[in-house]
Structure 1
Amino acid sequence: MPYINVRIADKKSQETASAVATLLTNLAHTELKKNREVAAVDVQFAEYWFVGGKNIDKKTFYIEIKVTAGTNTRDEKAKFIQQAYEGMKNILGGVTSTSYIVVKDVAPDDWGFGGKTQGYRYIKA
């Protein structure tokens, strides 16, 4: 775990997607203490992006990372959000302040990988 979904309002680029995947995998590992070997990052590029009902022509992004509930502190999440924002700003060459990052806690029995829930993994360990 975790699963990270990224939407970027910018021109589609393999180089950008790879840099974003590397950044977020590393931050999930260093700041949220997640196993990098199972961190999944889905990077998508948006053709249209609206803020305040208006299509913007500036770079922006939305990141949602799902983690097992209770495995991270508020401080760890805050540091991840701050460093992810700065990292995205560096990769994209500046972004709007209406770029969002969400750390979503998911109950351990509500998700897993390899056919086993996170709750099962905890009990087994």
Structure 2
Amino acid sequence: MPLITVSYSTSRQSPSLKADIASAVSELTATILHKDPKVTAIVVTSVGADDWFAGGKSLAEQKLASYWIDIHVSEGTNTKDEKATYLAAMFTRMAEILGPLHPETYLHVDEVKGDAYGFGGLTQERRYIAGKLDVSLKAA
């Protein structure tokens, strides 16, 4: 049930660019981090290349693209190797979509405690406990 925000900048334009980005992010999040796409929310925002600066120059000047991805997941649900694989795979996929990327392109996996994070009015901790109770009741 991650909430993912994607800010990106590129000179490439297409009517489906935001949808392509959301689809790629959803797919990699599901396959590498094992997050259910049915409860994954993704916000995609475009930033003009003249408004994005890296290394003291705008991306427009450098003729490069970039992104900032911030994903919130429940603490302890992914390994270090999964997160490293996710970061590398996302960089490769986003370069395919956006074009050559500035090295100062970022992805942050923000692990939050289950009692401080949730959706639909329930914390992830309560969902976990409810799931354990359901299994216990079914086993009885």
Give the Å deviation of 1:79.
0.8
Give the Å deviation of 1:56.
2.4
Aligned to 2:30: 29
Stretches of structure 2 lacking an aligned partner (at least 5 in a row)? 132-140
Aligned residues: 125
One of 55, 59, 67 as aligned partner of 1:61:
67
Give distance in 1, aligned partners of 2:127 and 2:15.
34
CA contact (8 A) 2:7 2:45 kept: yes
Amino acid at match of 2:100: G
Amino acid at match of 2:19: S
TM-score in terms of structure 1 length:
0.94
| 2:76 match: secondary structure | coil
Amino acid at match of 2:54: V
The more displaced of 81-90 and 55-64 is 55-64
The more displaced of 44-53 and 20-29 is 44-53
Stretches of structure 1 lacking an aligned partner (at least 5 in a row)? none
Deviation readout 1:26-78 (Å, 9 max, x if unpaired): 11111001111011110001121011333221211111111000100001111
The more displaced of 73-82 and 6-15 is 6-15
Amino acid at match of 2:105: S
Aligned to 1:73: 79
Alignment of 1:1-125 (within 5 A): 1-11=1-11, 13-47=14-48, 48-57=51-60, 58-125=64-131
Give distance in 1, aligned partners of 2:83 and 2:114.
18
Amino acid at match of 2:4: I
Aligned identity (percent) is 37
| 2:16 match: secondary structure | helix
| 2:101 match: secondary structure | coil
TM-score in terms of structure 2 length:
0.84
Amino acid at match of 1:26: E
**Which is greater in Rg?**
2
Give distance in 1, aligned partners of 2:7 and 2:15.
14
